[in-house]
Amino acid sequence: MPPPTHELIASPFLDEYLVLRPGNDNGVQIPLARYLELSKAASAGADAPQWLIDGAHQAWGIDLPAHRPLRDTVLVRAPSPYGMARASWELNMGCDYNCKHCYLGLKKFEGMPWEDKVKLLDIMAAAGVLWLQETGGEALIDRDFPDAHAYAYDLGMMLTISTNGSQLSKDKILSTLTERPPHHLSISVYGATAETYDGFTRNRGAFDRFIRGLDAAREAGLRLQLNVVVAADNAHEVDAMVSLAESYGECFVFTNMSPTIGGDSSPIPEQATKYLRERKPFTACNAGHTFFHADPFGHASICKIGREPHIALMQEGIEGLKRLGGIADGLQLRTGGCAGCAFGQKDADGKPGGCTTCRPMAKLYQEAKAPRNMYCQHPDPEPVR
């Protein structure tokens, strides 16, 4: 594939205008007038303005050429009437691991042909998506991942990748990510030793591939975010997992499991009770309004949890996204198993009520017959005697 053509992205983002550098955490907010100046310069083949040259040097230490068309180094994204700033995309639900805690349940390796993947990414770009999470299953085992990542990058998206890290040492994957760096790699940590990691993932040799992947990504200069997943089978190594994660990058710890997307309770017993964290009251979410999720078949939903109703984007096209806001509002209002509950409503002072998850997530917990304290601040009723 040809090398990328831009070093910076200038783009609308909700009510703001940003200049970003792929693979870098720094960004520059600019006023509308300067965004319009960049847009005009890109269209006319004019040189980069001096203020951008100075700003790029200060923010990222790069020297944009002073006498070269702006469009040779800066991709200026057009405004979108659809207002979708972020999205996530499951390239494929297949995975090379078989973890018992996984919220996806049955992970079939299936999805769209390449032509439809291109169509989906074009829709996302036209909808205004600036930040895209590439996920799965395991996104990096999809045969189209390198081309899909490159295509999304060249459309001017800031990419994050959720991965188990098992494929990161492979030449094709590493060269793709080095040439077109994601904002960061979000890598799950399931153990600090081969015995625990391989047992957790039910995949012999997985730990060795995981460490090789981490080492290769770090050597390539990719930004790493490590997510330590604490469950019953690896909780005895939590301190060692955190130490391992911190030696490679930024570390976050996750302990609370959710049912599968089909409402199966099987992941819940995998929790390490000692490490569970109390959830804060749920307040609000932009799902379906400025964010959406796409599954491997191009079905757009408000998020990974609230998958129904969905929009079949391959059939409806981009106009279907206009219905997601109404779907989101309906899903959040639907009471389901909480019919008649007044605790979830905000009080007179506007303080949140008893729900500690959104309604779609609470619905999954209810379908899984989970204890109420997993999604609600109010205890289960006393049994009738």
What gap in Å lies between CA 218 and CA 310, rounded to an integer? 38
Q: What is the pLDDT of residues 152-193, one digit of tens each?
A: 999 999 999 999 999 999 999 999 999 999 999 999 999 999
Q: Is the pLDDT of residue 377 over 90?
A: no
Q: What percent of the chain has pLDDT over 90?
A: 71
Give the torsion through C-alpha atoms of 336, 378, 238, 305, to 10 deg.
Answer: 20
* CA–CA gap between residue 74 and residue 77 (Å, rounded): 9
- Give this prediction's pTM: 0.91
Q: How far apart are CA 161 and CA 136, in angstroms?
A: 9
- Count CA within 13 A, CB hemisphere, residue 141: 18
DSSP 40: H
Tokens found for residue 357: 């998850």
d(CA 175, CA 156): 19
Q: Tell me, what DSSP letter sits at residue 146?
A: H
Question: Is residue 129 over pLDDT 80?
Answer: yes
**Residue 113 CB burial class (10 angstroms; 0-12, 13-18, ≥19):** exposed
Identify how many contiguous H helices and E strands the chain contains and give both numbers: 11, 13
Phi-psi region of 300 (alpha: psi -120 to 50; beta: other; left: phi over 0): beta
| DSSP class of 287 | B
Q: Cα 126 vs. chain centroid, distance in angstroms?
A: 19
Cα–Cα distance for residue pair 146/143, rounded to 1 Å: 8
Q: What is the pLDDT of residue 348?
A: 47
Q: Is the pLDDT of residue 347 over 50?
A: no
Give the number of other CB atoms < 10 A from CB of residue 70: 27
Mean pLDDT of 255-277: 83
pLDDT at 350 over 60: no
Instruction: Dump pLDDT digits (tens) for 21-35.
Output: 999 999 999 999 999
Inter-residue contact 70 to 38 (CB < 8 Å):
yes
Q: Would you place residue 351 in the very low, low, confident or very high pLDDT band (cuts 50, 70, 90)? A: low
Q: In this model, does residue 339 exceed pLDDT 80?
A: no
Nearest CA to 77 out of 133, 136, 152, 144 is that of 152
Q: Which residues, 6 or more positions from 303, have their beta carbon under 8 angstroms from its beta carbon?
A: 88, 285, 287, 288, 291, 292, 293, 360
pLDDT at 340: 55
Query: Are 33 and 27 spatial neighbours (Cβ–Cβ below 8 Å)?
Result: no
Distance, in Å, from the CA atom of 62 to the CA atom of 55, rounded to the nearest integer, reads: 9
**Beta carbons within 8 Å of 83's beta carbon, 6+ residues apart:** 14, 127, 128, 289, 290
* pLDDT tens figures, 94-114: 999 999 888 887 778 889 999
Q: What tokens does 274 get? A: 């000692």
Structural domains of the chain, ranges and CATH numbers in brackets? 8-76 (no CATH), 86-287 (3.20.20.70)
**Mean per-residue pLDDT, 333-337:** 58
Q: Given a cut of 70, is residue 49 above it in pLDDT?
A: yes
Q: Which amino acid, 67? A: H
